[in-house]
């Protein structure tokens, strides 16, 4: 599989740690030292379908592919504008990709990598030839802005990639642990019909993002290094040979812990959570677009992408550029 082009879209509105210290009891010092996040973009009205379409158009332009050439669009998101129609169909309509089949993928922060794996499988089978995949979120609408333990972490944005079949190697490992799903939840939709006694309004507890941060932290610092070791074995390369590690941007300390455990120089682990926070499914494609546009990834480079999050889910990919 080859990435033909990438693109990003971010809301204009920047919210700094100092801005948040005016609405909850927190400080720039706490947020920066515990997470590495300094600011995030928060939607001032931009929807997921708008951000996703903007990122898609930038990726198509760079790929020199027209919207009509696309035969599949996948949007990874946990914050769609609504459940139906899906976001991929809304992107299709906005960009004029009239020949595409469209569906969404819900796998939280691993969503973009699961979309990449799905694209790779379709390309390998020959079912589709030109695929647009997008990770897009407006997490700000699920965050409880009175809960300092979560509201300082997340941001909004979208990243996209256009991919096609190629000789370049692509190797993936992935997994899920539904038994631990309750450590990270949002937007429950309780059963509500004339035979049940539940009220017809979702409670704030059911709606807002809930996270047992320490459990997710432990899961990440165990699972990411394990999956990197698995993937290098499967790809028959060594950790030292990898030029870049693009990890989900949740917490600088998680990335530092992975680097320490596998003896990887931090310079090989680019980060942008200082500017964008944790953007869930958008995090990896936003970072990928940034490093590609800066020319950091050179032809022939070996790159590992790794995501982890709600579900629980995780996925790690090895790609040669």
Active centre residues (catalytic): 109, 248, 278
Which residue of 250, 286, 287, 312 would you call a contact of ligand UT7, by CB under 6 A? 250
Which residue of 6, 8, 26, 138 would you call a contact of ligand UT7, by CB under 6 A? 26
Which residue of 3, 9, 52, 152 would you call a contact of ligand UT7, by CB under 6 A? 152
DSSP string spanning 105-130? E--GGGHHHHHHHHHHHHHHHTS-SE
Asked if 251 is part of the footprint of ligand UT7 (rule: CB under 6 A), the reply reads yes
C-alpha angle 257-251-309 in degrees, rounded to nearest 5? 95
Reduced to 3 states, what is the DSSP secondary structure of residue 66?
A: coil
Which residue of 35, 39, 47, 138 would you call a contact of ligand UT7, by CB under 6 A? 35
Asked if 40 is part of the footprint of ligand UT7 (rule: CB under 6 A), the reply reads no
Neighbours of 56 (CB within 10 A): 31
Asked if 39 is part of the footprint of ligand UT7 (rule: CB under 6 A), the reply reads no
Asked if 109 is part of the footprint of ligand UT7 (rule: CB under 6 A), the reply reads yes
String of contacts with ligand UT7 for each residue 274-293, x by CB under 6 A: ----x-x-------------
Q: Where are the alpha helices (DSSP H) in the chain?
A: 17-20, 28-35, 48-63, 87-95, 111-125, 148-151, 204-207, 213-235, 252-262, 273-276, 283-293
Asked if 214 is part of the footprint of ligand UT7 (rule: CB under 6 A), the reply reads yes
Residue 280 CB, nearest approach to ligand UT7 (Å): 6
Asked if 32 is part of the footprint of ligand UT7 (rule: CB under 6 A), the reply reads no
Question: How many angstroms separate the CA atoms of 250 and 253, rounded?
Answer: 9
Asked if 186 is part of the footprint of ligand UT7 (rule: CB under 6 A), the reply reads no
């Amino acid at each position: 599989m080859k990435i033909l082009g990438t693109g990003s879209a971010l809301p204009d509105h920047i919210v700094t740690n100092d801005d948040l210290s005016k609405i909850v009891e927190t400080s720039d010092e706490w947020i920066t030292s515990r997470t590495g996040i300094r600011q995030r973009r928060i939607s001032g009205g931009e929807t997921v379908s708008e951000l996703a379409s903007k990122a898609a158009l930038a990726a198509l332009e760079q790929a020199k592919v027209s919207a009509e050439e696309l035969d599949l669009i996948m949007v990874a998101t946990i914050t769609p504008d609504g459940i139906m129609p899906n976001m991929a169909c809304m992107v299709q309509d906005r960009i004029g990709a009239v020949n595409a089949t469209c569906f969404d993928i819900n796998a939280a922060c691993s969503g973009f990598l699961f979309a990449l794996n799905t694209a790779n499988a379709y390309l390998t089978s020959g079912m589709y030839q030109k695929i647009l995949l997008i990770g897009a979120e407006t997490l700000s609408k699920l965050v409880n802005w009175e809960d300092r333990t979560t509201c300082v972490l997340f941001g909004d944005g979208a990243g996209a990639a256009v991919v096609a079949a190629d000789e370049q190697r692509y190797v993936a490992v992935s997994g899920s642990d539904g038994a631990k799903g309750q450590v990270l939840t949002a937007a429950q939709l309780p059963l509500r019909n004339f035979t049940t006694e539940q009220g017809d309004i979702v409670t704030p507890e059911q709606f807002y993002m809930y996270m047992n941060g320490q459990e997710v932290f432990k899961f990440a610092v165990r699972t990411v290094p394990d999956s990197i070791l698995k993937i290098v074995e499967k790809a028959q390369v060594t950790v030292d040979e990898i030029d870049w590690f693009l990890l989900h941007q949740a917490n600088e300390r998680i990335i530092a812990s992975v680097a320490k455990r596998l003896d990887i120089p931090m310079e090989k682990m680019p980060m942008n959570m200082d500017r964008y926070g944790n953007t869930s499914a958008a995090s990896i494609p936003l970072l990928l677009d940034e490093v590609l546009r800066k020319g950091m990834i050179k032809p022939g480079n070996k790159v590992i992408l790794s995501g982890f999050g709600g579900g629980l889910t995780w996925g790690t990919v090895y790609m040669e550029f």
